[in-house]
């Protein structure tokens, strides 16, 4: 299901959030709070204010407690998951939400699921370790997709997304995920991507969610990018077929009001403008339609053979 996009920010609202983050102004009223929750940064802003010793308004304090309680509730599930991964014998790494619990950009952030990265030849080991608690939702013969979704069978459990590729716009990069696994780093018991791959994954997440505004996502992407030199960032963009236009497109996303009716079209145009290979981008965009046509042709073929 497509997540609902956060509300559009004005330049002044963005500046106010930046000031709150730095402690240059107090946390805002209820309207500002609701917007911060919408963009996934309310708990982070409250935690930063608390660390500075600032007084927290009740609604901000309650949100911080809520997210921290959620993290405590998820701890048992995450410990079980880590135990299974360690015993799987597979190479893996995690990014986004789980990674940010041990390698923080924002002091506190909510987490909705777990993102794991592995190569296709490691998938069978990983799947065996996850089951039966986490059950595969995708069709096992789905050769089109590069992600496998495992759903926790226990109540209020975390879903696990297993990503098998680091490609963009349908342009496969043979060996990219294997190289990333070789360069992974160990942080407090978790395997995380190296700094370059971590930033790249944040870019991928932002591109795939281009219809969804998120200041939290933007701040984390910026924080990961600041760990790299400008030259490193430029080389990563070039290596994966991006022009610097992509960073402008992602920034503009926070301020542009696009209706649901036109959101997909705007996202597609943004991707095309940011890519050095527009043909490759177009191939990525129409891939779901091609997959649906292929599946339909196979189904019709079986029906035809069965009736002959």
Nearest CA to 220 among 237, 202, 234?
202
Q: Are 280 and 170 in contact (CB under 8 A)?
A: yes
User: What is the C-alpha end-to-end distance of the chain, expressed in Å?
Assistant: 39
Q: Report CA 116 to chain centroid distance, whole Å.
A: 11
HSE-CB at 75 with a 13 A cutoff on CA atoms is: 8
Domain ranges of the chain: 11-299
| Digitized pLDDT (tens) for each residue of the chain, 308 residues in all | 445 567 889 999 999 999 999 999 999 999 999 999 999 999 999 999 999 999 999 999 999 999 999 999 999 999 999 999 999 999 999 999 999 999 999 999 888 899 999 999 999 999 999 999 999 986 655 555 788 999 999 988 899 999 998 866 555 667 889 999 999 999 999 999 999 999 999 987 887 665 567 899 999 999 999 999 999 998 988 877 677 777 777 787 777 655 555 455 555 555 555 565 555 555 555 554 544 444 455 454 444 444 44
Contact 41, 219 (CB under 8 A): yes
Neighbours of 152 (CB within 10 A): 19
Report the CATH number of the 11-299 domain: 3.30.460.40
């Amino acid at each position: 299901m497509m997540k609902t996009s956060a509300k559009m920010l004005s330049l002044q609202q963005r500046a106010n959030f930046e000031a709150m983050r730095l402690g240059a102004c107090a946390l805002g009223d209820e309207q500002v709070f609701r917007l911060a929750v919408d963009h996934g940064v309310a708990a982070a802003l409250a935690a930063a204010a608390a660390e500075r010793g600032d007084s927290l308004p009740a609604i901000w304090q309650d949100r911080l407690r809520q997210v921290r309680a959620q993290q405590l509730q998820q701890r048992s599930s995450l410990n079980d998951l880590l135990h299974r991964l360690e015993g799987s014998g597979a190479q893996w790494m995690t990014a986004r939400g789980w990674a940010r619990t041990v390698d923080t950009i924002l002091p506190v952030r909510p987490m909705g699921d777990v993102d794991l990265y592995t190569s296709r030849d490691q998938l069978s080991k990983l799947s065996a370790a996850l089951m039966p608690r986490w059950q595969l939702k995708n069709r096992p013969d789905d050769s089109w997709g590069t992600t496998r979704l495992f759903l926790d069978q226990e109540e209020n459990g975390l879903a696990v997304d297993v990503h098998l590729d680091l490609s963009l716009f349908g342009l496969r990069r043979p060996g990219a995920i294997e190289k990333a696994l070789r360069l992974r780093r160990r942080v407090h018991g978790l395997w995380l991507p190296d700094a370059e791959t971590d930033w790249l994954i944040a870019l991928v997440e932002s591109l795939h969610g281009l219809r969804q505004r998120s200041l939290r996502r933007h701040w984390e992407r910026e924080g990961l990018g600041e760990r790299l030199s400008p030259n490193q960032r430029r080389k990563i963009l070039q290596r994966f077929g991006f022009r610097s236009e992509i960073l402008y497109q992602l920034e503009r996303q926070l301020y542009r009001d696009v209706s649901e009716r036109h959101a997909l079209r705007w996202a597609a145009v943004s991707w095309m403008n940011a890519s050095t290979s527009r043909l490759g981008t177009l191939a990525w965009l129409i891939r779901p339609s091609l997959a649906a046509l292929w599946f339909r042709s196979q189904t019709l073929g079986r029906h035809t053979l069965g009736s002959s």
